[in-house]
Amino acid sequence: MTTMTTTQTTTTVTAPAPTATTHRGALTLPPHIARATATAGGALTIVSAFLAWTWTSAFPGDLTVYGYPGGLQWLVLVSGALLTLFGLSSYGIKGLTWLTPQGADPAIRLAAYAAFATAWFTIIAISVQLGGFVNLEPGAYVALLATLIGWLGARSLPYERPETTPADPEDSGFDQFKHNLGNRWTIYKGSFTAGTARPAKTLPSYVEILIVAAVLALGLAVFTYGITTEYDELFIGFLITAGFGFAAIQKAGLIQRV
């Protein structure tokens, strides 16, 4: 009698490991166009700070002068300069790459937020205090457009999308909503995730001391400017610029280098 034995082979299927994907920002602009748009927006923001934003000096800071910034325009100028410098650094321009040892894109986004928020706050404050948008000069509209262009370009830069998990279909509608909202927030935060800093060059000890002294002096000057502001609008604008600006510098990796 012949006995037949049947052998069953079990195949284990392993799910592929999740991989990072590239996620687009606010617009579906090609990366090179988004980068150029953000950088150009920063440069145009600088130009707008040298234009008159209102026709009357009734608003604090006297924003009526062409060719010389006043009051809140200085803060917009600083924000635009940060956006422009980080944008140029992202192109690998010699002499500017040291500005972004951890990568430029997160710093570009935060600098764009600084310029956008400060400029729009200023122009809204002018309109509210003086009684409408009729009190704005063309320079104010240039600032609005320039900061919007810079912000849209920065938000359109691609970034590595963080891994998320889908909501449990058995959860309640509210729980699914909270889960999906958390996923959206995780993806949004991912656009500000900085990379690994490039190795720093070894500098002579006296140069390092001079750099630390210069950074401390700059920090003290910024702090002094903030606590000695002459009016509420300038103080609020300072908080906006300093908050986003410091975050941009930190994401660029400059704070870690010091």
pLDDT digits (tens, 9 = 90+) for 94-126: 888 888 888 889 999 999 999 999 999 999 999
Pairwise CA distance, residues 229 & 79, whole Å: 18
Q: What is the pLDDT of residues 139-174, one digit of tens each?
A: 999 999 999 999 999 999 988 888 888 887 877 878
Question: How far is the CA of 193 from the CAs of 132, 159, 181, in angstroms?
Answer: 39, 9, 19
| 0.85 exceeded by pTM | no
- Which of 130, 133, 156, 150 shows the shortest CA–CA distance to 76? 150
Handedness of CA 174, 176, 180, 185 (dihedral sign): positive
In this prediction, residue 175 carries a pLDDT of 80
Residue 62 CB-density burial (10 A; 0-12 exposed, 13-18 middle, 19+ buried) = middle
Q: Nearest to residue 253, comparing CAs of 29, 102, 81? A: 102
End-to-end CA distance of the chain: 86
DSSP 3-state of 174? helix
